[in-house]
Amino acid sequence: MSKRSKVLVQDLRSRFVSLEKTRVKMEKLFNDGRLSRSDIEKVYESLFMRTITFFEGFIEDLFFGLIVGKVRLSVGRVGLKYGFKSATLAREIVFAGKNYYVWFPYDQTERLAKRFLRDGSPFTLLNLNDIDKKAVRNDITNMLIVRNVIAHQSSYSKRRFREEIIMTAPWLLPREKTPAGFLRSIFRIPDQTRFENYQLRIIDIAKKIAG
């Protein structure tokens, strides 16, 4: 029996709530002087990596759920080009001999979706107007830039982070110009961090995709 796609969004939100509880707990320890700044920054980097991993998991679960009939859109219907009775067979074909599919950058998700779903919907975000679609793409791109500089620490990833994230926010304090410092910085008054805002944006994107 299939489940509605909104269940996957709810599962993703629950995972984020768990991460948020950890973040709040660690911030309290930092404020009490029981964690160093280096410690709390490592926590943010780890939590953000988990955040992106959970987002990738949502994309993968929704995609395979749709093409094998285990998931149905909460609103509207999906048009299958190819359907599979077996999740194992679907993964073998999609992964094409590899152990996984790289879902990001997001155009890779759209490219795969167009192979198996009519118009690539819902992954092509066809329910959005052009302005919204551009904003969504920018959000995903920026999150991946932060993820990549944490994961790789290459000169290329550092340069992209500096030029496309930090230089677009000249008001940041010196300690906020690192990946972890940026994630801890205040996005919205009174005290919403950029880390929290990214999680909210991911949930919003997931809802748009899942319908």
Q: Do you know the residue count of the chain?
A: 211
- Per the structure, the count of domains in the chain is 1
Task: Compute the distance between CA of residue 91 and CA of residue 64 in angstroms, rounded to an integer.
Answer: 8
| pLDDT confidence of residue 135 | 85
| pLDDT confidence of residue 190 | 83
Tokens of 55: 């987002």
- Long-range CB contacts for residues 174-183, cutoff 8 Å, separation at least 24: 175/37, 178/41, 179/45, 179/48, 179/146, 179/149, 179/150, 180/40, 180/41, 180/42, 180/44, 180/45, 180/150, 181/41, 182/146, 183/44, 183/45, 183/48, 183/146
Strand, helix or coil for residue 91: helix
Task: Compute the distance between CA of residue 14 and CA of residue 82 in angstroms, rounded to an integer.
Answer: 31
| pLDDT confidence of residue 154 | 95
| pLDDT confidence of residue 25 | 98
User: Are residues 117 and 81 in contact, defined by beta-carbon separation less than 8 angstroms?
Assistant: yes
What is the pTM for the complete model shown? 0.93
Task: Compute the distance between CA of residue 179 and CA of residue 185 in angstroms, rounded to an integer.
Answer: 10
Of 133, 122, 128, 14, residue with least CA distance to 74: 122
Sequential pLDDT tens for the chain (211 residues): 688 999 999 999 999 999 999 999 999 999 999 999 999 999 999 999 999 999 999 999 999 999 999 999 877 788 888 778 888 999 999 888 888 899 999 999 999 999 999 989 999 875 667 767 788 889 999 999 999 999 998 999 999 999 999 999 999 999 999 999 999 999 987 889 999 999 999 999 999 899 7
| Full residue range of the structural domain in which residue 140 is found | 3-210
What secondary structure, in 3-state letters, does 20-78 show? HHHHHHHHHHHHCCCCCHHHHHHHHHHHHHHHHHHHHHHHHHHHHHHHCCCEECCCCCC
| pLDDT confidence of residue 131 | 67
